[in-house]
Structures are given as structure tokens and as C-alpha cells.
Amino acid sequence: MKKIFFLFIFLLSISIFSQENIFTTILIPKELTENANSVVRNQKIDVEIFSKKNMTIKKYKVVTVLNSKGLGNIDAIEYYDKSTSVKSIEAIIYNSFGKEIKKIKRKDFIDQSVADGFSVYSDDRKLFLDYIPIEYPFTIVYTSELETSNTAFLPKWLPLDDFYESIENSSITIKYMSGLGFKYKEKNFNNYNISKQQDLNQITYRAVNIVAQKREELSPSFKNIYPSVLFGLDFFSLEGVEGNATTWEEFGKWRYKSLLSDNEEVSIQTQNAIRELVKDADSPIEKAKRIYEYVQNKTRYVSIQVGIGGWKPMLVSDVDRLGYGDCKALTNYTRVLLKTVGVNSYYTVVYGGEEKISFETDFVSMQGNHIILALPVATGYIFLECTSQTSPFGFNGNFTDDRYALIVKPEGGEIVKTTNYNDSKNKQIISGTYTIDATGNLSGFIQIKSSGIQYDVVYPIEKKSNEDKESYYKNRFSWIKNLKIKKINQLNDKEKIEFTEDVEMMAQSYATISNDLMIVPLNVFNRYVNIPQRYKERKNSFEVSRGFHDNDITQINFPNGYVIDGKFDNVIIESTFGKYKLMLDKENENFVLKREFILNNGVYDKSEYENYRKFMEQIAKSDNSKIILKKA
Amino acid sequence: MKYPLLVVLFLTTNLLFSQKRELGKVTIEELKEKYHPIDSLAPAAILFQTGKTTFQYSQEEGFYLVTEVEVKIKIYTKEGYEFANEAIQFYVGGNEKESVDFSKAFTYNLVGDKVEKTKLKGENEFIENVNKFWSVKKITMPNVREGSIIEYKYEIKSPYYSVFPEWKFQKSIPVKFSQYETNIPEYFTYNVYRKGSLIPVESKSKEGKTISITNKDLVRSGAAIKYERTNESINYTVEKVVYTLENLKALNDESFVNNIENYTAGLQHELSGKKMPNSMFESFSLTWEDVVKNIYKNDNFGEQLNITNYFENDIKGFINDQDKVNKIFEFVKTRMNWNGLYGYNCDEGVKKAYQNKTGNVADINLMLVAMLKYANVDADPVLISTRSNGIPLFPSRTAFNYVIVRVNNNEKSYFLDATDKNAMINILPLRDLNWNGRLVKNDGYSEMLDLMPQFISNDVVTVLAKIENESEISGQTREQYFAYNAYNYRNKYRKLNKESIVENVEKKFDGLEINDYEVTNVESLNEPVIEKYAFVNKNEIEKIGNKILFSPLMHFKADKNPFLVEKREYPIDFSFPFKDKYSISIAVPDGYEVAFLPETITLSMDNNYGVFSYIINSSANQIQLVVNFEINVSIVPAEDYVMLKEFFDRMIQKQNEKVILLKK
């Protein structure tokens, strides 16, 4: 007996010893601390799917935080609601020698409502740790266990989930009940050290030694360059509703049937009102336009996320009565109104955001974070943003443009790409004229017409105060010193989706006088000033996600009594990135400056980055070109 | 001829009548109004907001505070829809809880020529439990459109009558009429603090009130003892004060503003004294001395300065050191980690905070005072109000939210704040730099101290450069950051590796190429930070015909004036006085000669606010430029804004002037 006891103690001490080894920070390989604010020493996620309606997620994460910027990578946070409970949560802090310095129990975690400022109300809550470190580096061991009846979303595995964080060891294991149609999709494994092990009803992925990544300008979205695995079920449960994700068609059918089909009732008064509204409209598009404007005038965007409300639109009759709703509610409301007057349109799920994030089209699952409405037309679809009270009919802007989305039709789902405003569809035309007087003062007039995303960026200025408008132009023409705005006229043409600005301005001493010379920066109205960041060694490919087409023509009147002493040489730059032209011509005694800049959309290899930077640098420099005048 | 007068009179009374500020009186004219008569682009406007704070009495709870607010808002455009949502926070952290109730909430719309009225129902009200101390009641008004008028009333009940809810006359939209009424029983006296430059019209009156109290007393009647009910009435007077402001402009934020809240017209009430019947007068705070004494008396403040046993062993070594202030300051900064919480009272107490190595502002800075005193240094706490807390103009406990340290050593005095690892002696985190603080001594003496730095923070740049290939300027830069400039450098870059710093500096100078970057003294806080690097500037040189043009300040010139608006309502806050000095020498390339040099000038502002001087010379093959830019004050008052803007305009113009070289 004694012997056994001894052995037991011995084993115990070994395990303690090895544990301390993990928690000491001195043993972290040097390459993992390079550019890193934190190091994931060991992360294990264990997911067990017992049934369609029962899943547990256990997390174990050991992170060494090297400095205060790495605090954000502890990720000691769990969200819960009526269908998800936090069964346990705790953390232990070790100093750099592996000595325990603090134990944090559940009651020391902060329990808070998920009030994101965006939602008016949400019943989701979060439990999170707010630890104030007393020294760096330190290591935290975080464990948690969640139980949920929702299986529509399985955890996604992102071994690397942030910049400036390296990974020593990270794994995920999913055990699943058979017959639920378990599936997975691997992304961007390319050069990373990732292994997979598959057994009966079980799958494990493991990543080791991934060095910290730096954030670089113009990088494609995180999920398109770094490794991840998506998991999902063909047959799942969402807030008590059973679902099917075998194909997009089936998934769409399910979504329509369970979340939309029983919510199409609208009051007789409203029915009559909208029938009256469209009675002399001669086409479905005209009807849709009138109803879209009706909704824009009647409703406003308010977010309410309660229970299945996170997925199911609030009642059409409530939206009708209350005049507000979130994206689901307002889109569905518009859809039902259109249906009432015999126009078909479809609830469409998309990822909203300036970054163009697409649906994973080959992985059928709950995706997206925003809803818009698709209106079928001869050429495809027109997409309506129903949460905006000001957006023109059929205009997506940079929030939902050019990405894959899911259209939910009663007969089944369909993946489509939303409208793009690339290159020449994203246009700005400037026609201007300016005069320089003998003292170097400038007076000028400019007309700017913007369409596409350029429209989207500029049209909200229409509603701003005069003071704000003046400040806006002073910022926009920041290179003109002493700028005074004399007159502003703006026209928002929602039919053409074009914004026109007429601006009259003046600036004292715009040109500088040096003895008998006068130096005039020629390009008064449109200069490109953002030169991309230089990197000694670019790591990632880069992306120009929204190209544009600018075309400027400016008439110039130089002061009398001066002749040209020297001028820049006309510039023409052509490359894979786009085209740029700047030329000064003389037309009937007048000088005309012509500028054209076309920037192409595209994803490019990192080796092209320096060329792209030079291309932009050249343009910025040309835009600053000057002419020297001499007293005759 | 008599008739017109009558008509006019009739019209005026009618006008007055329609001006009545009551809920439920929405007129078609109001609904028809398309834009605000004065601020035509306002997205919405407050037609009126009236508030009334009264004391109510219940036998169980005693006096409690009831604040009723009625609001009427006109929505002009869709941008104004956010004003159709309201959220009121209330305290649930104590034994006694606050409550908020909304009522009389309606949206009015014009439908045809009829007024349509939609009621706010329970489904539009939400309570959110933010955390264990605070909850929020939110409403979302139904059926809101352009042109709608919305009205609601809310009532806040609170057992905490030491402070009234702050009344804000001004908002980010225009306010036509704003009135706040207080009804204070004779038992209480309040300090009233006014914010902003607008002075409300006040009217005062008194009225009597009666409270009935039922007493159940044990009464001996003969041999029996029984309960007897007696009714008692207490009469007291209530003072009513009504504050009114009309036609208030929307409030806009601007650059270099300390805290816009400082300039928002508003009222705060704080209990200063209480005298209940049959008891002594109890004073809370009246003068700064009272405030300070009260704070000092608290166990979590004064008492904390006397505890020394926990650190004695650890600081023994410093006590006889020449440089003991610095040594102790560094010791506390290194050991302690600020948990991000403000306050002049200790959270955990200095002893526990010391053991845990973490604490709030008071834990850390009062510990520092205790240590310094223990080492026989003349050190005292200074109560301050941080920028985010606004400027304290009146004595009150809530005027302060933070405490720092003042040291008097060899006839010089310094401020210390050990919550920030980059802070130094007399270099405080920027959040502390907010007008005045209040020094507190243990004998109750207190004194006002100016917190704004009086000394100049220098930045010295030396550049040796040459023009190459008629297209670029390359050279060497050495930049020395002193005082607050060094503090700012460390705050921004101390934790970054060299590569990231270089990327940041390249970005700051719009695509400058930087090589051989070296920085020293980032960790030696008492030395200036010294940065050295080689650069190539490819954007500055412009070759036109036989001439080369460039600004000799190169990438150091400012591109635009930070002051855009023509008029300004608030002071301009630079945080600290500074002086930037550039000494630049540029070699003229072979085959070229200087054809033109910008003029040497000096610009200065009145009141010695600032100076800009630009001195340029050239010899056969060198251009020498010395530029000085100094702002000598931390704050420039709003009335001197135009002068300041003009100064910046002319300075930036000068910085952008070009040298012209001519090919020989």
C-alpha cells in the first residue's frame, strides 16, 4: 500500500511541475514574441452536440499577455440569453515564473446587458472579466462551459483571431450525434502548421506555432487571408424552431416557412391606403418605388433584439401601427406591402458593412447580419435598403454593395450578388473655373457631380447646418489656405442618384509672389493626398475594394501682364492599377486643366504593393503641380 | 380708427394663450411647421421642456425627491428621429432604489387636416439592467414621421435628495423654452450651481405645506397599557424657485475644446445643510473649506494618510536619499497599477491596494502622499476635477472626482500623479489638466492651485539635408522631445517596436521614407526623448523648366489650419504651453543657385499668446532656416479666437512658401 501511495504523490508532483512549465513565460519561443502583444500558449475548445437541441461548449485557454495592448486578447467573455447558459466560468492568473497570483471566480466576473448603443433593447447579456494586471508578462488560464439549445451556430475555429497575437498551440474538437448532417469547411490553411484528425462522429483540428501577424493597410478582410474552419449542421434548432440547411434551396424554404410565412397580415386601412397610392402606377417598379417612399416616410430604424426576435421579424401589423422596426421588420413590412399590390419581392440576408464580406456560398448555414429587400426586374434584382429614410430607391451604397447574399423565396433560397458600383459606376465629374488676380488671390466656382459610392459619401452633407457645410468644404479643399466659402448650392437628385454641388469660393494669397515671379498650384479642386503606408516587407496581398473614376475640367484665368515662365510637363500614367492624366491646354486664349483618374478594383499580390504605392505617390505629386508666371 | 387696436390686442392675447406650455395642446400650425424659424436646418427642436422637483413625505421613508419633467419636441427631418427615443438612467445599487415612470406620451401627426394622436404603450417601454448599480428606462415613440410632434412626461422618484438631477437648458438641437422649478422645504438648504454663460431668469415665492403624521404611542391608562393613535400636523414653508431660459441655440462641439459640457447652460443642486424640527442644524458643504474638511474627515481619505506600517520596510532605503521624491514616486509608479477608476476616496484602502498592487486614483496617490510624508517631505493631496468631470465653479463634494499630489521641496513645488507610468514630476496625465485644484492640509487649511502647466514644453528639431537628382530631399533629422512632448511621445510609442514606430512616423509625414531610426531615453523618464533618423522626401521637390521649387520646412510644415469656423464660442485649450524649434540646413545642388528666398518674418499675437518666427539665409551652397513656433499659454479665451485663427492662417501660409533654385 505504501508503495502505491508514494507513486501517486510522485505522479502528482510531476504533473504540477509540468504545469508550471507551461505557465512560465521564459520558455516561450522567441519567434512567437516577435510583434506579439500576447501569446496563446494553449487553447482547447471542446464542443459536444448531444442532439439537435443540446450542445455544450467547453473552453480552456492559456494566454500569456506580454503588454497592456495584449489585454484585449484574453477574451474572457461569454454571452448568454434564455437559450444559452453559462455553466461555469473562472480564471487563474500566474506571474512570469508560473506562480499563481490570483484566482477569479464567477462572482468576480462582471454581468452586464449587451447594450451596444445600436440596439434600443436586447435581452442578451454578457459575463466578462476585467482584470487589472499588476505586472507584465503574466499568464491567464481561462475556463468556461456553456450549454445551449441552439445548434444553428456552431463555434467557428479561428486559431489566429487577431493581429499581434501568436499561437503556440490551439485546437478544437467537435463530437457530434450522427444523423444531424455535420459538415465543415476549411479556409486559408496554405502555409500554416495545421493538422486534422477524424474519428467516428468526432473531428479535431490543431494548429501549432503561428507567429504574430501585423496589421497592414489595404489588406483583404481577415477571414479571407487567415486560417479558419466553419462547422455546421444540416438539421439544427434555433430558439426552439427546427431547421434544415442541406441546400440553399431547402434552407431558404425553411427560413421562409418558419420565420416569415405567418407574418404577412396588414390592416385593411393600410391595404386601402397603399392600393390608392399605386392605383395609377403603370409598372411594378413604379409601384415598388411609391411603396418604398411610403415606408421611408412612415417608419424609422430602431433595433429590438428579444428571443427569436433576433431572427424573426416583428409583426407586420406592429410595424404598421408603431412606425418603427429593425432591418428584419422594415424589410418584411415593405415586402408584405408590395405583395398586397401584387408585386413580388424577397427578404434577402446579407453581411452589412463597409468591408465587402460575402456569404460562404458553398457552406449552407445561418450567415449574415443584415436584411435588405430584393425586387426582381428583367435584368436581375434591384436591392432596397429599408432601414434608411433617405437612401434613393434601389441604391445600396457601401453598406451592402458587391457581395454574395441569400434571397429567401417561398419556393427556396438562392444565392445572388448585390449591385456593385465599381470603377466607372463610381464617378465624380468636376467642372470648374478660377481666376488668379495680380496679387495672387483666387476666386473660383466649382460644380461637382457625384454618383455611385461617391454619392453615398457626400449626400448626407445636404442636411447639415451651413456652418458644418463650410467646415466640410474647408476640410475637403484643405490645401487651399485662407479659404472662404461664398456660396453653396446642393441638389440631391434621387431619380438619377446623383448629387450636385455648386460652390463659390475665394482665397487670399493662393498664389505666391516671389519678386517678379508668381507660383500657382494649378490643380485647385481635386487632389489625391492619401499615400499608402510604406512597409519594409509587405506580408499580405492587398485589395482596392472600391475603384472610382474622376474627371475634372477647369478653366483658368491668369492675371494680365504675366507670361508663362515654366510649367510642369503633362502627365500620363497607365498601370494595372488604373490610369491618370493631367494636362494643361490652351483653348481660345484660355487655359484649361484636364484631369482624369481611374482607379481599378482589384486584389493584387504583395509583390505589387510597392508599385501601387509609387503609382499613388506619383499621382499625389502631380496633383500638386505648379506653374510659374513671370511679369511681362 | 379704434378697431385696429382692438384687433391687435385680441391677437396678442390669443398668441399668449397658444404659448401655454402644457402637454396635449398640439396645434395644426405646430404640426405644419416645416423648419425651425431661426435654425432652418435643425433636425428637431425642443418646443418646451419643463421640470419640477418637489419633496414628498411618507411616514415610512421620510422625505424623498420627485422630479417631474414634461417635454414637447418637434421633429423636422429624418435626421431628427433619434430625438424620438429617450433613455433615463436610475440608480438601483443601494438599499433604497430610484424609479422612473413615463406617462402622457403621445406622437402627433397631421393626417389630411386632422391631428392624429398615437399613444405610447407598454410595448414601447423597455428596462435594461445595465449592471448592478444602474438600470435604464428607454422609450421609443411610435409612429414618428417628419413633422411629428412628440410629447412625454417622466417622473423620477429618488430617496437620495442630496443631489437633484442636473437640469440642462441647452441641447444639441434648439430649445424654444426651458424651465426648471424647485420646491424646497425650509428644512433643507441647497447650493445652486450654474453652468455655461447664459443666465436664467429667476422668480421666487413661498407657500405653506402641512404633513400629517399618525403616531401610535404606548399609553398607560390606569393599570392597563394600550396603544393610542394620535394625529399630528406639521406645518412648514416651501420655497419655490423658477428658472427660465428661452430661445437657446443648438450646441456644437469644436476642436481644442476642453469639455463641451462646461459651456452647456445648466443647473445643479447640492444639499448644503439640513435642519429638521427639534434637531440641530447639520451642515454639509457651503464653502470650499467645508467641502475640503468634509472630504478630509472621511476614513477613506484623511485616515489613509496616516497609515504607514505597510510600506515602511520597503522604502527605508530612500529616506535619506537626496533624490527621495523622485525615488519614492518611481517606486509607487512601478509597483502600483491603476484600475482605471477615478475618485478622491480610496476603494480598497491604501494598505490592501499596496498588497494587491492595484487600486483606484485615491489608493495610489494617497499612498504616495503617506510615503512622502513618512520620508519627511512636505507633501499634500490636491483635489481636482478631471477634464471629463468639467470645471468646478462652486464648492461641492461632486465638484471633485480625483486626487493628485503636491510636493514642496527646496522652496519649489511640484505636482505628481502616480497613476500613469509615463507621468513625471510636474508632468501630469492630460486628464488632470483642468484649471484649478484644491490643496488639502491635515489642519483643515486648503488653498486653490492652478493646475495648468506654466512652463514651456520644448521640441527641438535639427535637420541636415540635401537635394538629390533634382527630385528628392534626403537628410538626417534629430528631434528632442522635452516635458509634455516627451510624455506624449512615450504615451504613443513606448509600447511599440521600432518597426511600428517607423511606420507611424512615416505616416505622420505623409509617405516620408525613414531609415536608420534610433530613439533613446524612452525608458529614462527624466531625460528628453531623442529621435534620430535618415529620411528621403520624394514629394517636396518640384522641377519646373529650369527651376526647382520646394518649401524649406519640407514635411514639417502644417498643411491646414485646425481652426475652420469663423466664430467661436468656447475658449481654445492647448493643454500646455509649447515651443517648437526647427534648425534646418539644406545644401544647394551643384549647378543651381538660389533665385528666391521667402522673406524672414516674425508674427506675434497680442497678450503674448504666441510667436512664430521664420528666419532664412543662404550662402553660396547652403540654405539656413530657423523657425520658432511658441504658444505661451494653455488656454486662449474665446474672444481672441479671430486673432488666433488669423495667426494660424498666416503662419501656415508662411510655412508653405517656396524657395526657388535656378539652373546656372
Please check whether residue B172 touches A, CB under 8 A.
no
One of 3.10.620.30, 3.40.50.1370, 3.10.310.10, 3.90.1150.170 is the CATH number of A245-417, namely 3.10.620.30
Tell me the residue range of the domain where B418 lies. 288-450
Q: Which of B450, B485, B505 is the last residue of a domain?
A: B450
Decide: A84 and A148 in contact? Cβ < 8 Å: yes
Q: Using a CB-CB distance cutoff of 8 angstroms, which residues of chain A are in contact with residue B80?
A: none
SS3 A254: helix
Q: Partners of A79 in the beta sheet?
A: A126
Q: What is the nearest CA distance from B534 to chain A, expressed in angstroms? A: 15
* DSSP classification of residue A157: B
Q: What are phi and psi of A581, to 5 degrees?
A: -135, 135
Q: In what order do the strands lie in the sheet with B149-158?
A: B114-119, B99-111, B149-158, B62-75, B44-58, B175-185, B224-248, B201-221
Decide: B580 and B459 in contact? Cβ < 8 Å: yes
Q: Among A253-267, B17-31, B650-664, which stretch is predicted with the lowest mean pLDDT?
A: B17-31
Q: How many domains does chain B have?
A: 3
Which has the closest alpha carbon to A298: A270, A261, A340, A265? A270
Each domain of chain A, given as residue ranges in start order, spans 20-238, 245-417, 423-631
Mean pLDDT calculated for residue range B594-612: 94
Element housing B25 (H / E): none
- Interface contact B596-A531, CB threshold 8 A: no
Q: Are residues B104 and B242 in the same domain?
A: yes
Cα–Cα dist B150/A303, whole Å: 20
Please give the mean pLDDT across all residues of chain B: 88
Question: What's the pLDDT score for residue A17?
Answer: 43
Nearest 5°: the CA angle A172, A173, A177 is 145
Decide: B176 and B110 in contact? Cβ < 8 Å: no
AA letter at B398: T
Residue A20: which region, alpha, beta or left (left: phi > 0; alpha: psi -120 to 50)?
A: alpha
Q: Are residues B542 and B399 in the same domain?
A: no
Decide: A176 and A54 in contact? Cβ < 8 Å: no
Question: What's the pLDDT score for residue A15?
Answer: 42
Largest Cα span, chain A: 114
AA letter at A401: D
Q: Are residues B91 and B45 in the same domain?
A: yes
Please check whether residue B599 touches A, CB under 8 A.
no
Q: Are residues B342 and B465 in the same domain?
A: no
Closest chain A CA to residue B125: A121
Closest chain B CA to residue A565: B545
Question: What's the pLDDT score for residue A618?
Answer: 92
Which has the closest alpha carbon to B425: B359, B377, B386? B377
Q: Among A578-587, B10-19, B554-563, which stretch is predicted with the lowest mean pLDDT?
A: B10-19
- Interface contact B138-A121, CB threshold 8 A: yes
Cα–Cα dist A259/A252, whole Å: 10
CA atoms within 13 A on the CB side of B79: 15
Q: Using a CB-CB distance cutoff of 8 angstroms, which residues of chain B are in contact with residue A35?
A: 497, 499
DSSP state string for A202-235: EEEEEEEEEPPPPP-TTPPPHHHHS-EEEEEESE
pLDDT-derived band at B445 (thresholds 50, 70, 90) equals confident
Quick check: B141 pLDDT over 50?
yes
Return the CATH fold of A20-238: Immunoglobulin-like (2.60.40)
Cα–Cα dist A612/B183, whole Å: 70
Cα–Cα dist A234/A216, whole Å: 37
Look at domain A423-631 and name its CATH class: mainly beta
AA letter at A472: Y
Contact partners, residue A410, CB within 8 Å, separation at least 6? A253, A256, A257, A261
| Residues in A 221-280 with any Cβ partner in B closer than 8 A | none
Cα–Cα dist A320/A130, whole Å: 43
Decide: B252 and A467 in contact? Cβ < 8 Å: yes
Q: Are residues B308 and B425 in the same domain?
A: yes
DSSP state string for B124-190: GEEEEE-SSSEEEEEEE-SS--TT-EEEEEEEEEES-TTBPPPEE---SS-EEEEEEEEEEETTEEE
Please check whether residue A307 touches B, CB under 8 A.
no
- Interface contact B544-A536, CB threshold 8 A: no
Question: What's the pLDDT score for residue A13?
Answer: 40
- Interface contact B539-A298, CB threshold 8 A: no
Which has the closest alpha carbon to A496: A383, A395, A368, A362? A395
SS3 B77: coil
Quick check: B120 pLDDT over 60?
yes
CATH code of residue B490: 2.60.120.1130
Decide: A379 and A370 in contact? Cβ < 8 Å: no
| Residues in A 467-506 with any Cβ partner in B closer than 8 A | 467, 470-471, 474-475, 478-479, 481-482
Mean pLDDT calculated for residue range B485-499: 90
Which has the closest alpha carbon to B183: B242, B233, B236? B242
Q: Are residues B252 and B295 in the same domain?
A: no
SS3 A297: helix
Question: What's the pLDDT score for residue A266?
Answer: 92
Q: Are residues B250 and B394 in the same domain?
A: no
From the list A318, A390, A482, which residue is nearest B653 (CB)? A482
Query: ipTM exceeding 0.90?
Result: no
pLDDT-derived band at B2 (thresholds 50, 70, 90) equals very low
Please check whether residue B507 touches A, CB under 8 A.
yes
Question: What's the pLDDT score for residue A150?
Answer: 93
B116 belongs to a structural domain: yes
Q: Are residues B165 and B311 in the same domain?
A: no
The grid coordinates listed for A260 are 416569415
B15 belongs to a structural domain: no
Q: Are residues B65 and B133 in the same domain?
A: yes
Question: What's the pLDDT score for residue A98?
Answer: 85
Please check whether residue B79 touches A, CB under 8 A.
yes
Per-block mean pLDDT, blocks of 10 residues, chain A (632 long): 41 43 77 92 96 96 92 92 93 90 91 64 82 90 95 94 93 96 94 93 96 92 92 93 95 94 92 94 94 93 66 89 90 96 95 92 93 94 93 92 95 95 91 95 96 93 88 91 93 95 95 88 92 88 94 95 89 96 89 96 95 94 92 87
CATH code of residue B244: 2.60.40.3140
B59 belongs to a structural domain: yes
Which residue matches cell numbers 457625384?
A450
Q: Are residues B444 and B470 in the same domain?
A: no
Please check whether residue B539 touches A, CB under 8 A.
yes
Decide: A234 and A180 in contact? Cβ < 8 Å: yes
Q: Are residues B475 and B440 in the same domain?
A: no
Quick check: B485 pLDDT over 50?
yes
Q: Are residues B492 and B572 in the same domain?
A: yes
Question: What's the pLDDT score for residue B8?
Answer: 39
Q: How far is CA B9 from CA B3, B6, B12, in A?
A: 10, 5, 5
Decide: A528 and A616 in contact? Cβ < 8 Å: yes
How many angstroms from the chain centroid is the CA of residue B208? 41
Question: What's the pLDDT score for residue B389?
Answer: 85
Which has the closest alpha carbon to B336: A296, A42, A133, A55? A133
Q: Using a CB-CB distance cutoff of 8 angstroms, which residues of chain A are in contact with residue B551?
A: none
The grid coordinates listed for A178 are 450522427
Higher pLDDT, B21 or A59: A59
| Residues in B 455-494 with any Cβ partner in A closer than 8 A | none
Secondary structure (H, E, C), A439-483: CCCEEEEEEEEEECHHHHHHHHHHHCCHHHHHHHHHHHCCCCCCE
Q: Which of B450, B473, B504 is the last residue of a domain?
A: B450
Decide: B406 and B380 in contact? Cβ < 8 Å: yes
Please report how the helices A268-278 and A284-298 are oriented relative to each other, as an axis angle in degrees rounded to 10: 130
Please check whether residue B134 touches A, CB under 8 A.
no
Q: Which of B124, B128, B341, B490 to mutate to test the interface with A (most CBs of A within 10 A)?
A: B128
Question: What's the pLDDT score for residue A586?
Answer: 87
From the list B511, B653, B658, which residue is nearest A519 (CB)? B658
Please check whether residue B61 touches A, CB under 8 A.
no
SS3 A40: strand
Higher pLDDT, B154 or B223: B154
Sign of CA dihedral A390, A396, A397, A399: positive
Q: Is the backbone peptide bond immediately before B577 cis, with ω within 30 degrees of 0? A: no
Cα–Cα dist B172/B190, whole Å: 28
Sign of CA dihedral A419, A421, A425, A428: positive
AA letter at A233: L
Question: What's the pLDDT score for residue A439?
Answer: 92
Q: Which of B450, B468, B491 is the last residue of a domain?
A: B450
Nearest 5°: the CA angle A42, A44, A47 is 175
Q: Which of B39, B76, B78 to mutate to test the interface with A (most CBs of A within 10 A)?
A: B78
Cα–Cα dist B572/B559, whole Å: 20
